[in-house]
Each structure stands twice: as structure tokens, then as C-alpha cells.
Amino acid sequence: MIEKKEKQVSLPQLITVKKFSEVLDMPVNIVITELMKNGILATINERIDFETASIIAQDLGYKVEEEVREAETRMTLEKLLEIVKKERASDENLKKRPPIVTILGHVDHGKTTLLDTIRKTSVALGESGGITQHISAYQVRKKGELITFIDTPGHEAFSAMRERGVSIADIAVLVVAADDGVRPQTKEVIEYLLAKKIPTVVAINKIDKPEANVQRVKQELAENGILLEEWGGQVLSSKISAKQNIGIDELLDNILLLSEVEDFKAIHERDALGVVLEAHLDPNKGPVSTILVKTGTLKEGQDIIAGETFGRVRRIEDFTGKRVLQAGPSMPISLIGLNATPNTNDILQVASSKSQARTQMEHMKGSTEDKLNSVTAKTIYKSIENEKTIKLNVILKSDVQGSLEAIQQILSEIKSDEVAIDYVSLGIGNITESDIRFGSSSNSVVFGFNVETTPVAKRMAEASKVEIKTYKIIYELVEDIKARLTALLPEEYERTEFGKLKVLAVFKTGKKDMIVGGKILSGKIVNDSLIEVVREDRVIGKGKLGNLQENKVNVDECAKNKECGITFLGETKIKEDDILTSYKEELKKKTL
């Protein structure tokens, strides 16, 4: 007798029901029926995991093996920095490049003013809420040498963006105010710089102020691990006044001196790898990305990938807005040509062709969607658990990706098991009709930061009663969302017990009231308080104390061991030997 050979199929980690039926060469309705027999309700386009698919396939008479899939090649910032590090160590085909500098320091120590003075523009005066909202980059020339500055936000709310800026930079300028010294945020920055061993120049700012104390600053820096050159250490320092333009030349000289010592180099003749610093949607140009080229040269016309976006370089502009045909290492540029706005921190790569760029992007995106749409027991349990949480549906639109990140970062610090934010949609650009349609169908509030609402969207919102709230200052937006979350918290009452009374006699029984007498066992009985009726250690009813008498005289309260008469308002029928508890309940203030 010839043994029937079992059919063999190879299945990936995640697969749609439709594709699964094709692999098995079976009608999709049979596969769905088998899934239902196993307690899994999945539509034709939903994905099931390998374990589930394997069980179904075996039930249908197949032998299953897991498909071996090559690891994803998505470039990360960590991988990019590792590539740059290896290139520098190889010492092959390396050419000099400008140093990349970031300026760090405590809030209000003059970081933004220093950047203003260096690039001769006014950022500080134009910023809402007095803080730098976006990351940007530019170059200055000193003694014929270029220096690239990346502007990282100084406020504590942007710590993740600031750390990213530091990891991209070659040199950090640590700004410390001469009149204020080393503050908590300065200490955090110092710890980070020392841990990452980032070459540092100290700028002691505000030396023009009468209360300036440079020696104290040097002492405090030494106590925190930054030993300046004049104190026998290795760290260069400059005494400056960013506001009065004092000492700026010396600071730039120190940056160039440190750059010469560190000898920053990169390979120019290779396909570019860069970091997305910022991205926004321009109504005329479409998606515009601020890119810092880390290695290689980017040229106009090349096909590119950045995160989950792809396209062709249609235009490159330097930081002044002038069109250039190519951009080399350490150069900050504005790039037009991607099909959508990439995320901050995405890595820009050159692809060999547009089709490859699209294919690779869709492959990586598909992998992400697989994880999001897969039907597993874990996701089902998670969704059941989440149903217990009250959700505030939010559609959030922002001018740039960095602000969107910062808002989410601040809001993620709100910890509550009872309420949560459900981001129905996140996006860059003005609030449009599609946002309102989405808001109407999902019962969401539409929040905008530094964006406008189109006239059509405004009319649609009024007609469909969708609430739109726009802000220029991040913390006002955050406080609004916090207030809404607080309002969603379930009401909670705090109970305060006054005392207990044992019923000795029942004098009158009405339909909704009773008059009884008794002795106070503990605490006190308070007039107008709430009453709980306990019989044989079980609560049988509740009501209110309508009147309290001691020796037939109306009183506000009666103390332990005394006898009193009470009028009980409620439908519970009290009997002798019942225990009455006098108490009050107060609505607790809702807090997150």
C-alpha cells in the first residue's frame, strides 16, 4: 500500500486570511469556517499569526514550516552613527567636513539668544511661550571654515528631541549663566555629555550682569565633573554676553580649535545618509524636510527613502533657501521630493531606483501594519482590558513633526488606570475637511498647534458639531487636554462615619419615614446626616436623619452612651436591635 504524502506549506509570521486561503489552495469561506471553529472571528483582510495559521493548516491536513524571512533593513539613527564611526576608523577616502555643534543649557540661560547672535536672526522674540519650538540647522563661516549648528529645544518638555540633537552633534556648547550658575537641568546635560564622551566647550554667559560670578560657575562646573582648562582640565571655555555680542568670536575660535583636535572627517564620494531633523507640509511645495547629511553626498534627481516615505530629490536648498545641486557631509538642507512628511529622526537613504524605493518602503510599512493588524489572543485580551478605561478621542494636528512629538511626550507622562487619550489621528499641516469628517465619525475633539483651520473645515465643523481647539503655546494645549481627562474621571465619594446607635424602640412607622429611639454605642449621631441600617451584620437599607431629639428637645448632635430619638427618612423598615450608622459622603475632587 502506497502511503499518501502530506502536503507541505511554508507560512510567514503573519498572513492575511485571503493570502492564507491562496497558500492552502482552498476557498476562503472554508478557511474562515475553520477559524470560527477555533473561536477566531477574522475577516478576509485581517492578519492571523503563524501559530493560529499553523493549527488551522494542520487541521486541514497540511504539514507546516515557518517561512524564513530576511531581516528588515530599515536604517535607524543608531545604525547610522555606527556606520559613521566605522567609516572614520577605516581612514579610507576620508575628507574633512565641518563640525556639527549643538548648544545646550538650562532654561533662560541664554541658549536661544546666543544662537540669534551667531546667525544674526531673531528667534527668541518670535517664539510663542518663550521657548524654541522646532529643531532647525544652519551654518556659519569663521576664518574660512564652516561650522554647522543644530538648534535643539532648550525646554524640559523637549528632552527626547534634545538628546537626539546631542547624539547627532560632534561638539556640544554648554551655556551656563554667570549670574545663576549650574542648575538642575545643567547637571542633567553634564551627566549626558560625560556619559557619551562628547567634546564640549563651555560658554559662561551674561558676564555683563552686575551679579555675574564667573569663579563660582567654574567651581560648580568642577564639582560636577567639568574641569576647565584654566583650572588644570581639558575643557575650553569662553566668557560671553550673547545679548551684548561679547566673546562670540572667541567662542567660535574655541569650536574650531576643538574641531581641529578631533579632526572630523567623512566619505564624500558615496550615497548620502542623513537624519531628518524636521518636516512640515508646505501648501505650495508639499512635504518639506530639514535634513542633516551625515555622510556621503546627496544629489538632485536621486531616488530616496526616509522612514516610511519615498520619492525623488526634486530640489535641494541650503539653510539660506538658495538652491544647490548637491549636499555633502555636515550640510543642513531643505529637501523637496518625498511623497509625505517623514518623522523626526528618520534616516534618509539613497535607493537605486524609484521602484526599489517604493517597494522597500512598502515592505517595511507592511511589516509594521502586520504587527498592528494581527489577530492574536494577546491583542484581544488587551482590547478587553482597555474597554474598562474611559477614552478621550483626540485628533491632533501640528505645524511640524517635532512639536507633535513634544506634545505626545508631555501627555504620555499622565498616568491613570481610569482615563486615557486615544489618538484617532495625528498629522502635520492645517486642519482640513478630512479631519472634521474623521472627528465626526469618531466623536473626537480636533486639536491644532501652530496651524490654521481651512474655511470649509470650519463650516463643516459647525454643521457637524465637531469641536476644534487651536493653540500657539504647547502648555495651554496640554492643560486643556488634562482638564478634559480630569472631567472624564468617574465621581468618587469619601465617607466619614460619625457614630452608631442601637435601636431600642420603634414609635412610628410611616410609608417613607419612621420615628425610633435608641442608645448611642460609639461616636455621635449628627442631625441631617445619612443613615445606614444594619441587621445581623448586613446592610439592609439607607436613608437620611430628618430630625434628632434628646430629652424631647431638638439638637444638632448627640454623644456616646446617651439615648435619643430620631426621625428616619427612607423606605427601609427598621426593627428593634437594628444598628444605625450616622455618616456623611463628600464628592472627592477629581485629580489625575
At 55 the pLDDT is: 87
Per the structure, the count of domains in the chain is 4
Q: Flag whether 351 is in a domain.
A: no
The answer to whether residues 534 and 427 belong to one domain is: no
CA dist list (Å): 561 to 313, 335, 503, 521, 531: 90, 85, 13, 6, 18
At 17 the pLDDT is: 87
Q: Flag whether 325 is in a domain.
A: no
At 32 the pLDDT is: 87
Last residue of a domain, one of 263, 282, 299: 263
Can you give the pLDDT of all 592 residues of the chain as single tens digits?
334 446 888 888 778 888 899 999 899 888 888 888 876 777 787 778 787 788 888 888 888 887 654 444 568 888 888 888 888 888 778 999 999 998 888 777 777 788 888 876 433 333 444 333 444 788 888 888 999 998 765 545 455 555 666 678 899 999 999 998 898 888 888 888 888 888 999 999 999 999 999 999 999 999 999 999 888 889 999 999 988 889 999 999 999 999 999 999 999 999 999 999 888 888 788 899 999 999 999 999 999 999 888 899 999 999 888 999 999 999 999 999 998 888 888 899 998 655 555 555 555 444 444 444 444 444 444 444 455 688 899 999 998 877 888 888 888 888 888 889 988 888 888 898 889 988 988 899 999 999 999 888 898 899 899 999 999 988 899 999 999 999 998 888 889 999 999 999 999 998 899 999 999 999 999 999 999 999 999 999 999 999 999 999 999 999 999 999 999 999 999 999 999 999 999 988 878 7
At 592 the pLDDT is: 74
Query: Tell me, what CATH number does 257's domain have?
Result: 3.40.50.300
The answer to whether residues 482 and 574 belong to one domain is: no
Query: Tell me, what CATH number does 411's domain have?
Result: 3.40.50.10050
Report the half-sphere exposure of 499 (CA within 13 A, side-chain side).
Answer: 20
At 68 the pLDDT is: 56
The answer to whether residues 516 and 469 belong to one domain is: no
Nearest alpha-carbon partner for 344 in 289, 268, 414: 289
How far is it, in rounded angstroms, from Cα 516 to Cα 494? 28
The answer to whether residues 104 and 225 belong to one domain is: yes
How far is it, in rounded angstroms, from Cα 289 to Cα 349? 14
The answer to whether residues 41 and 183 belong to one domain is: no
At 4 the pLDDT is: 41
Strand 579-587 and strand 7-11: the pairing is unpaired
Q: Flag whether 29 is in a domain.
A: yes
Q: Flag whether 301 is in a domain.
A: no
Inter-residue contact 298 to 272 (CB < 8 Å):
yes
Which residues constitute the domain of residue 450?
377-488
* Per-residue pLDDT tens digits for 122-171: 333 334 443 334 447 888 888 889 999 987 655 454 555 556 666 788 99
The answer to whether residues 428 and 568 belong to one domain is: no
- 517-548 burial: b if 16+ Cβ within 10 Å, else e: bbebeebbbbbebbbbbeeeeeeebebebbeb
Nearest alpha-carbon partner for 53 in 7, 1, 9, 108: 9
Q: Flag whether 343 is in a domain.
A: no
As a three-state string, the secondary structure of 500-534 is EEEEEEEEEECCCEEEEEEEEEEEEEECCCEEEEE
Backbone angles phi, psi at 472, to 5 degrees: -105, -15
The answer to whether residues 247 and 104 belong to one domain is: yes
Nearest alpha-carbon partner for 258 in 342, 343, 142: 142
The answer to whether residues 143 and 238 belong to one domain is: yes
Last residue of a domain, one of 461, 488, 515: 488
Strand 374-375 and strand 47-49: the pairing is parallel
Q: Flag whether 123 is in a domain.
A: yes
Q: Flag whether 164 is in a domain.
A: yes
Nearest alpha-carbon partner for 469 in 438, 444, 440, 448: 448
Backbone angles phi, psi at 588, to 5 degrees: -75, 145
Last residue of a domain, one of 199, 228, 263: 263
DSSP per position, 123-181:
-GGG-GGGS--S-EEEEEEETTEEEEEEE---SGGGHHHHHHHHHH-SEEEEEEETTT-
The answer to whether residues 388 and 412 belong to one domain is: yes
The answer to whether residues 37 and 166 belong to one domain is: no
Torsional sign, CA 100, 191, 187, 415 = positive
Residues belonging to the chain = 592
The answer to whether residues 440 and 560 belong to one domain is: no
The answer to whether residues 456 and 525 belong to one domain is: no
* Per-residue pLDDT tens digits for 498-550: 999 999 999 999 889 999 999 999 999 999 999 999 999 999 999 999 999 99
At 358 the pLDDT is: 56
Reading the block at residue 200, the C-alpha cell is 564640549
At 454 the pLDDT is: 87
Q: Flag whether 192 is in a domain.
A: yes
